[in-house]
Chain A
Amino acid sequence: MDTETVVRAQRGDKGAYALVATEIAVRFLAVARRILRDIDLAEDATQQALLTIWQDLPKLRDPARFDAWSYRLLVRACYAEGRKQRRWAPNLRLLPMDESIVNDGLNSVVDRDQLERGFRRLSIDHRAVVVLHHYLDLPLDRVAEIVGIPVGTAHSQHHHAMRALRAALDADSRTPVREVI
């Protein structure tokens, strides 16, 4: 992110912030969607994060740290949306009725389905660590800084999450929904 534009936005320049928001919005939405596994919640989290960034930007003492700071606000917004998801959004789900099951390697439907199930069982904290590390390719010490946890905790959460996902992948492959004949 261009530091000069961030500084202008800090001083209340809405045009400058529009540039900032435009540059980060797509990436933020992609990260939020991967953490929350729901586009509506991801949009809400992204919107909330972008508004919070605008509001709190004057408090950012070192504009060069904008990226880490802004991701932290996004992850917090994801936590908030995740709590809503637990209560309401997931109670009714569209079922994959006719999904074909072809075990064709790493990207098979079975793997994706198992991963999806395994991932949804993770807490938002663990999901955030996985997404920031494996999607944004951030090292775990940077992930720890963003999420606001000790580096050791980030390593531990990553280990736990990957072990859970491995268990999900190793579970018996089965059609997500099938009818008894």
Chain B
Amino acid sequence: MHTERDVTRIVHSWLRTDEHESADRVLDTVLELLDTTPQRRALWSARRITDMNTVAKLVVAAAAVVVIAVAGYNFLPARGGVGGGPAASESPSPTPQPSPSPSPVAAFPPEGKLAVGLRHATTGGGVPYSFSVPTAGWTSNGAYGIDKSTGIDADDASFILWPDEAPIGVFADPCASVKAPPIGASAAKLAAAVAALPGTDLVSGPSDVTVGGYPAKHVVLTFGEDADCNADGQLAGEEFYLWYSPSEGSARYATELGSTIRVWIIDVDGAIVWIDGETFKGAGPGPEQEIQQIVDSIVFE
């Protein structure tokens, strides 16, 4: 047992340890953006205009319109991400096309919006493939996932594509972070383990499907009250682990109670390609359809 004083001391100490951040990158970006970021004038300073004659007011007003228009134009594309230029993401230049190189691109789509109508190259467990997105609004996180967020939870959807290594096992006790032994590269066994994941509600599967011309197992899970490790009505992400990959040591965990995860485990000539897509509580058919359309668009190189 820790006393109150212990806890205060521990928290105090913990907050002060081992974090040595460099703000250089943030600072560089901010200073660069100042030129295109106008200050918002206070209402009280705007009163100064009353001291001017009519012509001067018109000149100032016209100038203000120009400034606001320019500033507004500059602001339109602004996104909050570190390192992003003010207009880079929405410049009139065409969205970068996938490389026309015939050799497979063993990489994930770069961070940013995924253009509709283009093929997006990636790998799944090291196996190269490409996919397309059915509608605008899908973005890549540049590392392992793509998502579509409209700001309305029920309309959101997301994927983890496991580009480097496919999961090899599930968690025996998702709340206690206890792993079951690794299963290996068997789509059928992996799917069976997913379907039996403790604390989840199996919606369907494992069923046999085809993805990109290859045989696959498909499982659909939801997260109900049994997945609530803290019995507090929430599903704190780090508390409920689902499946894990080998050497890179990554683990997927659920987002919230009521969300649904659809898993495709594809056997590409003995290599496992794993895709899991998530929709959220209250989702209508739209997000699910988009997830299915993306999976249906997959073409292996």
Q: State the Cβ distance, B175 to closest chain A Cβ, in Å.
A: 11
* In-complex Cβ contact of B180 among A42, A61, A180 (8 A): A180
Q: Does A88 lie within 8 Å of B160, measured CB to CB?
A: no
Q: State the Cβ distance, A56 to closest chain B Cβ, in Å.
A: 6
In the assembled complex, the Cα of A82 lies from the Cα of B38 at a distance in Å of: 26
Q: Which residues of the other chain, B, contact A1 by a CB distance below 8 angstroms?
A: none
* In-complex Cβ contact of B40 among A56, A165, A176 (8 A): A56
Q: State the Cβ distance, B66 to closest chain A Cβ, in Å.
A: 17
* Cβ proximity bits B1-43 to A, threshold 8 Å, 1 near / 0 not: 1101011111111111101011101110111011101111110
In the complex, whether B94 has a CB less than 8 A from a CB of chain A is no
Q: Does B23 lie within 8 Å of A25, measured CB to CB?
A: yes
Q: Does A58 lie within 8 Å of B45, measured CB to CB?
A: yes
* In-complex Cβ contact of B12 among A18, A33, A134 (8 A): A134
In the assembled complex, the Cα of A14 lies from the Cα of B37 at a distance in Å of: 11
Q: State the Cβ distance, B210 to closest chain A Cβ, in Å.
A: 26
In the complex, whether B177 has a CB less than 8 A from a CB of chain A is yes
* Cβ proximity bits A87-98 to B, threshold 8 Å, 1 near / 0 not: 110111111010
Q: Which residues of the other chain, A, contact B177 by a CB distance below 8 angstroms?
A: 176-178
User: Among A62-70, A104-112, A143-151, which stretch is in contact with chain B?
Assistant: A104-112
In the complex, whether A71 has a CB less than 8 A from a CB of chain B is no
Q: Does A22 lie within 8 Å of B27, measured CB to CB?
A: yes
- Extra 15 A-B pairs, beta carbons < 8 Å, given A90-B238, A162-B4: A25-B23, A26-B22, A51-B30, A51-B33, A86-B237, A87-B153, A88-B158, A91-B145, A92-B145, A92-B251, A115-B14, A117-B239, A134-B8, A134-B11, A178-B178
* In-complex Cβ contact of B236 among A34, A58, A121 (8 A): A121
* Cβ proximity bits B207-242 to A, threshold 8 Å, 1 near / 0 not: 000000000000000000000001000001111010
Q: Which residues of the other chain, B, contact A178 by a CB distance below 8 angstroms?
A: 177-179
Q: Does A107 lie within 8 Å of B21, measured CB to CB?
A: no
In the complex, whether A125 has a CB less than 8 A from a CB of chain B is no
| Interface residue tally on B, bucketed by range | 35 or more
* In-complex Cβ contact of A54 among B15, B34, B145 (8 A): B34
Query: Which residues from chain A sit less than 8 Å from chain B, CB to CB?
Result: 12, 14, 17-18, 21-22, 25-26, 28-30, 33-34, 39-40, 42-44, 46-48, 50-51, 54-59, 61, 86-88, 90-95, 97, 106-107, 111-112, 115, 117, 120-121, 130-131, 134-135, 162, 165-166, 169-170, 174, 176-180
Q: Does B82 lie within 8 Å of A40, measured CB to CB?
A: yes
- Across the A-B interface, give the 8 residue pairs with the lowest CB-CB distance, nearest first: A25-B23, A90-B237, A59-B42, A135-B15, A166-B7, A43-B82, A50-B30, A29-B23
Q: Does B278 lie within 8 Å of A91, measured CB to CB?
A: yes
Q: Which residues of the other chain, A, contact B82 by a CB distance below 8 angstroms?
A: 40, 43-44, 47
* In-complex Cβ contact of B27 among A25, A42, A170 (8 A): A25
In the assembled complex, the Cα of A43 lies from the Cα of B144 at a distance in Å of: 20
* In-complex Cβ contact of B26 among A50, A93, A134 (8 A): A50
In the assembled complex, the Cα of A86 lies from the Cα of B181 at a distance in Å of: 29
Q: State the Cβ distance, B78 to closest chain A Cβ, in Å.
A: 9
Q: State the Cβ distance, A108 to closest chain B Cβ, in Å.
A: 10
Main secondary structure of the interface of B (DSSP, over half): mixed
Q: Which residues of the other chain, A, contact B160 by a CB distance below 8 angstroms?
A: 91-92
Main secondary structure of the interface of A (DSSP, over half): helix
Q: Does B252 lie within 8 Å of A91, measured CB to CB?
A: yes
Q: Does B40 lie within 8 Å of A39, measured CB to CB?
A: no
Q: Does A92 lie within 8 Å of B236, measured CB to CB?
A: no
Q: Does B179 lie within 8 Å of A130, measured CB to CB?
A: no
Q: Does A54 lie within 8 Å of B180, measured CB to CB?
A: no
Query: Would A107 and B17 be within 8 Å (CB), given that A29-B23, A91-B252 are in contact?
Result: yes
In the complex, whether B288 has a CB less than 8 A from a CB of chain A is no
Q: Does A180 lie within 8 Å of B179, measured CB to CB?
A: yes
In the assembled complex, the Cα of A92 lies from the Cα of B166 at a distance in Å of: 13
Q: Does A58 lie within 8 Å of B29, measured CB to CB?
A: no
Q: Which residues of the other chain, B, contact A111 by a CB distance below 8 angstroms?
A: 10, 14
* In-complex Cβ contact of A120 among B26, B42, B158, B238 (8 A): B238
In the assembled complex, the Cα of A39 lies from the Cα of B251 at a distance in Å of: 19
Q: State the Cβ distance, B77 to closest chain A Cβ, in Å.
A: 14
* Cβ proximity bits B131-167 to A, threshold 8 Å, 1 near / 0 not: 0000000000100110101000100101010000000
Q: Does B37 lie within 8 Å of A51, measured CB to CB?
A: yes
* In-complex Cβ contact of A12 among B10, B39, B80, B81 (8 A): B39
